[in-house]
Amino acid sequence: MARIRTFLAIDLGPAIRKRLASLQKELSNDAPDVNWVEGENMHITLLFLGDIDERESITVCRAAQKVTSSLPTFQVTMEGVGCFPNTRRPRVVWMGVSEGADDLVKLHHELEAKLEELGLYRPEMRVYKPHVTLGRIKGEGPHDALVQALAKQQEWAGGEANVREVLVMSSEMTRDGPTYTILGRAKLTGEA
């Protein structure tokens, strides 16, 4: 049976992706050593499951729907930029979430618990922090210009999106970067 690289995510919509792409372009002047994420691939990852058996994707979709059916829709505001793990050793450039971050953390925890119960997920040691990956940094540095450019963009706002569903996605690595496919949609249909 085939194995597929799987994750659960929130789509941001084309307007926010376009704004984030413009931020990437602005930052790229000070960061020639960053592999920027393609605009259509930008999302908020909730859980990364890794390679799972293709048949298990149906179970993942059903589990996600079970969780989201009891949760109401909510709004997220994309705001703030930074890098992981820190500015001394930046590896990932990200856009943060202000409004709606607590709702994303709750959604993450509920999905995590359900998929762990089914044996399809092993919790990560690090604390979940909702964000959009804008780029991955190549090389060891120094990255002073990038860190200074990010500091200038601390108040940058990416816009607002309504979270109405969780996407179960597959990721196939190609020579031109990852190709994402939607395997299932889990609508948030609970009462507020």
Segment 17-53, tens digit of pLDDT: 999 999 999 898 887 788 999 999 999 999 999 999 9
Question: What pTM value is reported for the model?
Answer: 0.92
Please state, rounded to an integer, the average pLDDT across all residues of the chain.
92
Is 131 part of the annotated catalytic residue set?
A: yes
Which residue is catalytic, options 108, 109, 131, 143? 131
pLDDT-derived band at 170, boundaries 50, 70, 90: very high
Q: Does 43 qualify as catalytic in the annotation?
A: yes
pLDDT digits (tens, 9 = 90+) for 86-98: 888 889 999 999 9
- Among the options 43, 108, 109, 143, which is catalytic? 43
Instruction: Give the CATH superfamily of 3-187.
Output: Cyclic phosphodiesterase (3.90.1140.10)
Q: Are 62 and 186 in contact (CB under 8 A)?
A: no
Q: What is the average pLDDT across 57-62?
A: 95
145 contacts: CB under 8 Å, gap ≥ 6: 30, 31
pLDDT of 59 > 90? The answer is yes
pLDDT tens digits, 118-164: 988 888 888 999 999 999 998 776 788 888 888 888 888 899 999 99
